[in-house]
Structure 1
Amino acid sequence: MATKAKVRTPATASAHQQRKLATVASTTRDDGESKFERLIYERVRLGIMSALAVREEMTFNELKSLFNISDGNLGGHARKLEDAGYLTCTKSFEDRRPRTAYRITEQGRAALNRYLDHVEAVIRATRG
């Protein structure tokens, strides 16, 4: 006979767990900053931001190779991050070939840190 797993919902959570969930919820804001932080949540955009957080600059081709995605896919994600002010894009020529390079901005680094702080709070709350 199979046993049924009990699913813990916020209504059945202990008082301690409810306080932890409330703490996590309080780190999510509905102001303009949280809207932009949601941009980072998507896998490719999070990857771009993370890669640029540890390297000063990466080219379009380096990022494309790192994530194994199409030109259009990378270009769309990078454009959203650039429009939010999280990346700068520099276009130049190198040996007559176009070169596109990206750098994370201070605003982008702050948004990434806010996002990571939120994820860490969720992890702490769920691990108990």
Structure 2
Amino acid sequence: MANTHNRMIGKVIPHSQSPAIRAKNVMDVKLVQNPCVLIQQTLIMWVVPELVGQALATVLMLVSLHWFVFLLNLPVAAWNMYRVWKVPMGNMGVFDPTEIHNRGQLKSHMKESMIKLGFHLLCFFIYLYSMILALIND
């Protein structure tokens, strides 16, 4: 029964493999069976680089004495740090698929995403204006 189920998914787990390889293949099959885990792992993959990138950009603006852009980036960097640190123990991460639907957090995450999209769009035009101004002045 298990072999027919595995063939239907496209994963055949040979019994001649070592237990470690078989366990990895079984985990791959479980990921295919539970797409929430796969989606959650994909979302977690972007949380830390976003946090590091925003903090790095904020520190670089402070070091280069661009005070307006530093003050613009500081609340977003602080919010990213707060969001990562406030994850309760036992949750899978910032985007826990069960908590999003149980607590109705999907709407707040969508609102946060739209605010960040607007922020990044605003920053894009500010940086573009600064670059054009610097090119014209040289």
- The structure richer in strand per residue is 1
- The structure richer in helix per residue is 2
Please tell me whether Structure 1 or Structure 2 has the larger radius of gyration of its CA atoms. Answer: 2
Instruction: State TM-score, norm by structure 1.
Output: 0.29
Instruction: State TM-score, norm by structure 2.
Output: 0.27
